[in-house]
Structure 1
Amino acid sequence: MATQHAASASSAHSHDEKERISSPTSIAPPPTAPILEVTNADYALAVSEQKLNPYSWSSIRLFAVLAVAFMGSMSNGFDGQVMGAVNGMQQYLDYFGISGTDAGGGVGTVTALIFGIYYIGQIAGMAVAGPLADRLGRRGGMFVGAVIIIVGAIVVTLAKNTGYLLGGRFVLGFGVSITTTACPAYVVEMSPPQWRGRLTGLYNSSYYVGSILCTGVAIGTEQLSGTTSWRAPLAIQLVPAGILIIFSLWLPESPRWLLATGKPEQARAVLAKYHGEGDPNAPLVQLQWREFEEAIKVDASDKRWYDYSELVNTADARYRTFMMLLMAFFGQWSGNGLGYFLTVLFKNSGVESQRARLVLNFINTIVSAIGAFIGTALTDKVGRRRMWFWGTLASATMLAIATACTAEFGETGSSKSGSNSAIAFIFLFGFCYSLTYTPLQALYPSEVLHYNTRAKGMACYSLAVSCASFVNTYAGPIALERIQWKYYIVYVVWDIFECAMIWFFAVETMGRTLEELAEIFSDPHPVRASLRTRKVAVVEKETGDKHIIEVAQA
């Protein structure tokens, strides 16, 4: 009964707030009023009234909380690069009897299986990832996934034959599927709307923190003659998963999950603490709370572990799911699949020394990380759609030039400057790809999915990513063995196709709360609706309150 009373009181307060944030009018604004071009008037008003201070104690606590969730992305980054580095070590190839000495790293069917089984594990994990994050909460999903990752990392590190590697990497993939469902959903739901792009982009950019550590350690251990040379880099995967296990259950739960599970008082308290400097009546808190109550259902499909129907049962839902799947497949098929086999690419470019290839792999990771962090800083300024289109086009251009240089100068004894040009454009491709896709891969699918389908939708996203990545990692070593650099051309052509699809179908999500995105997807023309802006003036009344006046278009 107390819960119902609290919910009713908050609804009444929200109604008063909605009245105060009045609809735009066509009255001429005062000449001194600032004119803004916005996508949503209520959101613009709330942001103008409440400026978040990134140095406040409330914001610092929020950043610390989200840093724990970032460990989910870091765990994925460890695997994404450590196997690429280890695969280029002769000690590893000799121990497991894997072919690839002449290619600059493991290639062929055995390598394809070792890399691909990780994504089979992710595909299997998808069946439980969404229901776990809905049933146990985002924190519970993080914890369970991290425990499974620890088990897989131990098995891989202590591997005595390829059977251990295959089993351990399957378990790793299963655990990562759960954490990469729960962690980004948590980050996007805990982030204030005006910081959502940067914070969620920073989550995915943490991938490169793990990557840099792994590739750096691989350079240090590469000269060791025993199995420590490759076991040590593999063992580092235990670190981020361990941090998740220790701290995840101490985090505040997502306010959206709390409200959806019948805990409105706790939900409002978390929202006020992290988005309102402790004030439950702060404009951003009021705006989001009103939208929570309107959008989040207590009897939706997220309460039924088996029910995925809300992903496809309306035109709105189907378009959201289409956007999610577009990012899943494009994020994996834009050329980044070659990253697992960079040592082979460097061998194709004329680099003969194992150590030189590992050093170049490390440098490429740093260059890509710089691109990722720059992209993260731009997501809330440039917009998601624009960054996605132009970044994909730039990636295609860089990869096309790298392909041409490798074809011309990749043979041993060819022009040193030509070979260096091929390597430089491989680096530039990594920079462009990371600037574009690293921030967007966690942010965009989490944004476009409705709350009631977010956990299961992100599990489906992980499934799609895993399927696409399996194609990359299974086909990649076989294609590189048989057609070498010509394999790059497949990605160049596909990237051009991606650009066309993004131009015609991708919606812009910047400048709205998560709940306000419903007006885009319910429109008959979602792309046009997402790009539509209005000119408004924010006018302060004598009482100190502010309201919006729409400026007539010329």
Structure 2
Amino acid sequence: MVVGNIYFIAAIAVIGGGLFGFDISSMSAIIDEEAYLCYFNPGPHEYNSDGSVVCKGPNANVQGGITASMAAGSWLGSLISGFLSDKYGRKTSIQIGSVIWCIGSIIVCASQDIPMLIVGRIINGLCVGICSAQVPVYISEISPPTKRGRLVGLQQWACTWGILIMFYISYGCSFIKGTAAFRIPWGLQMIPAILLFLGLMLLPESPRWLARQDRWEECHAVLTLVHGKGDPNSPFVLREYEEIKSMCEFERDNADVSFLELFKPNMINRTHVGVFTQIWSQLTGMNVMMYYITYVFAMAGLKGNNNLISSSIEYVINVFMTIPALVWGDRWGRRPTFMIGSLFMAIFLYANAGLMATYGEPAPKGGLNGVSEESWIISGHASKAVIACTYLFVASYAISFGPASWVYPPELFPLRLRGKAGALCTSANWAFNFALSYFVPPAFVNIQWKVYVLFGVFCTVMFLHIFFMFPETTGKTLEEVEAIFTDPSGIPYIGVPAWKTKNEYSHATLIEEVGYDEEKKGAVAEVVHQETMATGEKMV
């Protein structure tokens, strides 16, 4: 039995995104708990007057390394995912990732010391890297143009749900005495990976990957199942099939599919855009807020359960503010979504920096509650304003970069390179995730509130970069996106200026309703011709 409902397909596939969410909050909710601090408490120990050990837990550098180890594994996993995806298929590569997650979770759950914990998190990261790179590719290749943003964006929504669910599981387990307080959450995170593995057995393979393997009957069957409601002669199915066939015939004579092709003149522009989409997603500072929110709220005067509950509100906002982007993101377009999100995030980051600089003061030596990362104190109405700006920052990210940064990169690349391109772009995400996860705890110690200024500057620069360099892809088929990067003169790496590209959601909606579009078919054929003339390859 194979299920063809596109929403069911996406709902199963994006569980891979939920795994990343589980990891984020399984760490952010636990790093301040007594059980965790006491168990992973490297020496030399300090003692209270009654002789009990002072549980300070890992220092800033060690905690940064523990948190960043998952991102390090994800970076490696995202790179190898391209080879797995191209050889074994999009669906199978995601299943491999889910098996790896279970292995890593067993090691994490059984951790006896910090090195074992780090090894388990690196293995977990391999899974997250594979899934975060290939789930968007899989969904992009199986979705109709008008729903592509919504369906790929579900990966981010699954991530937000994973964060929220695991946070409350970890919060509930915090009342358990002993190591079960963190071992139970770390063990339970295997459940969604098992569901992902089993659920994928019910889903079809990507029709574009099947076409690339010359499995044309299966490709047509999947298009019929997913888009034709069982009618193999559906106009939309025929249109998609012909466009895939045209592009594959051209690509068969241009079969260089190494990572190096992504850096050739005819591909470097879109590679730069895809990679920077993922880099900017990290440099917004959002994952810093996710991992270390308890530090931020502790500096704003929240303690104990109040801190954890207030932190969980951030995760609730993240879940519900992602919904508008899923519902209307394809109508808004990618460019406005990115630019408006980066503008508002910059505003709230600068506001937090100003509030802390004006109304705050350095914490006592050693940090609040003996936690060196909690290096600043702000109280009164100003602290409430810091919390409010943090919530608004999260809302700004959730409605913009959250889903759109996963939707956009797979849309940019031709079929023959999409698996490896997705791997490269996602590896950039995880490389910067690793750097920031490791950097932020010492940064809170050393530059304190200026951390907000740093990320505010990043958001300002990304706004300008997006305006000048990021083209609009909304409403176009994956084959039509090729025309954006090909100049009418036939020079393939100049392309259309980003600010002149248009959102074609309305046109794509009409074509899905009425079927074949000869004008668009001609545009795709012209791109193939232009690339042929520019590269000197024989026209198929």
Which TM bucket (shorter chain)?
0.7 to 0.9
Q: Report what 1:151 is aligned to.
A: 103
How many residues end up aligned between the 2 structures? 487
Check if 1:294 corresponds to 2:266: no
Selected match of 1:343 from 280, 285, 294: 294
SS in 2 for 1:206: helix
Check if 1:434 corresponds to 2:384: no
Aligned partners of 1:66 and 1:442: how far apart in 2?
A: 13
Q: Report what 1:247 is aligned to.
A: 199
Q: How far 1:449 moved relative to its partner?
A: 1.8
Aligned partners of 1:301 and 1:97: how far apart in 2?
A: 59
Q: Report what 1:493 is aligned to.
A: 457
SS in 1 for 2:125: helix
Q: 1:399–1:492: 8 Å Cα contact kept in structure 2?
A: yes
Deviations for 1:304-326, whole angstroms, at most 9, x for unmatched residues?
Answer: 88x223312342x1111111111
Within a 5 Å distance, the mapping from 1:69-80 to structure 2 comes to 69-80=13-24
Q: How far 1:297 moved relative to its partner?
A: 4.9
Amino acid at match of 1:402: N
Selected match of 1:421 from 362, 372, 385: 385
**Cα 1:300–1:479, aligned 2, differ >3 Å: closer, same or farther?**
farther
Check if 1:277 corresponds to 2:229: yes
Q: How far 1:336 moved relative to its partner?
A: 1.1
Q: How far 1:105 moved relative to its partner?
A: 8.7
Deviations for 1:77-112, whole angstroms, at most 9, x for unmatched residues?
Answer: 11122211111212211110169x999996511101
Aligned partners of 2:510 and 2:519: how far apart in 1?
A: 7
Aligned partners of 1:547 and 1:127: how far apart in 2?
A: 37
Check if 1:81 corresponds to 2:25: yes
Check if 1:308 corresponds to 2:259: yes
Q: How far 1:146 moved relative to its partner?
A: 0.6
Q: Which moved more, 1:434-443 or 1:221-230?
A: 221-230
Aligned partners of 1:530 and 1:88: how far apart in 2?
A: 48
Q: Report what 1:213 is aligned to.
A: 165
Q: Report what 1:527 is aligned to.
A: 498
Q: Report what 1:132 is aligned to.
A: 84
Amino acid at match of 2:386: A
**Cα 1:283–1:335, aligned 2, differ >3 Å: closer, same or farther?**
same
Q: 2:4–2:204: 8 Å Cα contact kept in structure 1?
A: no
Q: Report what 1:121 is aligned to.
A: 73
Aligned partners of 2:254 and 2:327: how far apart in 1?
A: 33
Unaligned runs of 5+ in 2: 47-53, 364-376, 488-494, 521-540
Q: How far 1:330 moved relative to its partner?
A: 0.1
Q: How far 1:127 moved relative to its partner?
A: 4.0
SS in 2 for 1:484: coil
Aligned partners of 2:287 and 2:254: how far apart in 1?
A: 33
Deviations for 1:382-429, whole angstroms, at most 9, x for unmatched residues?
Answer: 100011001111011111112222334455886432211110110110
Higher relative contact order (CA 8 A, sep 6+): 1
Selected match of 1:483 from 437, 447, 450: 447
**Cα 1:227–1:294, aligned 2, differ >3 Å: closer, same or farther?**
same
Q: Percent identity?
A: 28
Q: Which moved more, 1:281-290 or 1:167-176?
A: 281-290
SS in 1 for 2:400: helix
Amino acid at match of 1:467: A
Aligned partners of 2:254 and 2:224: how far apart in 1?
A: 25
**Cα 1:291–1:261, aligned 2, differ >3 Å: closer, same or farther?**
same
Aligned partners of 1:186 and 1:512: how far apart in 2?
A: 17
Check if 1:385 corresponds to 2:349: no
Aligned partners of 2:505 and 2:282: how far apart in 1?
A: 36
**Cα 1:147–1:547, aligned 2, differ >3 Å: closer, same or farther?**
closer
Q: How far 1:303 moved relative to its partner?
A: 7.6
Q: Report what 1:359 is aligned to.
A: 309
Q: 2:11–2:154: 8 Å Cα contact kept in structure 1?
A: no
Q: How far 1:133 moved relative to its partner?
A: 0.6
**Cα 1:355–1:301, aligned 2, differ >3 Å: closer, same or farther?**
farther
Aligned partners of 2:56 and 2:500: how far apart in 1?
A: 50
Amino acid at match of 1:236: L
Q: Report what 1:515 is aligned to.
A: 479
Q: TM-score normalized by structure 2?
A: 0.84
Q: Report what 2:6 is aligned to.
A: 62
Aligned partners of 1:227 and 1:137: how far apart in 2?
A: 40
Q: How far 1:66 moved relative to its partner?
A: 1.8
- Aligned Cα RMSD in Å? 3.1
Q: Report what 1:12 is aligned to.
A: none
Aligned partners of 2:240 and 2:227: how far apart in 1?
A: 10
**Cα 1:527–1:294, aligned 2, differ >3 Å: closer, same or farther?**
same
Q: Report what 2:144 is aligned to.
A: 192
Q: 2:61–2:441: 8 Å Cα contact kept in structure 1?
A: yes
Q: How far 1:531 moved relative to its partner?
A: 2.7
Amino acid at match of 2:82: G
Q: 2:42–2:57: 8 Å Cα contact kept in structure 1?
A: no
SS in 1 for 2:417: helix
**Cα 1:519–1:230, aligned 2, differ >3 Å: closer, same or farther?**
same
Amino acid at match of 1:368: N
Check if 1:96 corresponds to 2:46: no
Aligned partners of 1:534 and 1:384: how far apart in 2?
A: 11
Within a 5 Å distance, the mapping from 1:230-241 to structure 2 comes to 230-241=182-193
**Cα 1:521–1:194, aligned 2, differ >3 Å: closer, same or farther?**
same
**Cα 1:345–1:129, aligned 2, differ >3 Å: closer, same or farther?**
same
Q: 1:148–1:174: 8 Å Cα contact kept in structure 2?
A: yes
Q: How far 1:226 moved relative to its partner?
A: 1.2
**Cα 1:105–1:290, aligned 2, differ >3 Å: closer, same or farther?**
farther
Aligned partners of 1:529 and 1:414: how far apart in 2?
A: 46
Q: 1:104–1:343: 8 Å Cα contact kept in structure 2?
A: no
Q: How far 1:280 moved relative to its partner?
A: 2.0
Q: 2:345–2:397: 8 Å Cα contact kept in structure 1?
A: yes
Aligned partners of 2:455 and 2:81: how far apart in 1?
A: 30
Amino acid at match of 1:270: V
Q: 2:413–2:482: 8 Å Cα contact kept in structure 1?
A: no
Q: 1:134–1:302: 8 Å Cα contact kept in structure 2?
A: no
Deviations for 1:133-169, whole angstroms, at most 9, x for unmatched residues?
Answer: 1111011101111111110011111111101111101
Aligned partners of 2:519 and 2:127: how far apart in 1?
A: 51
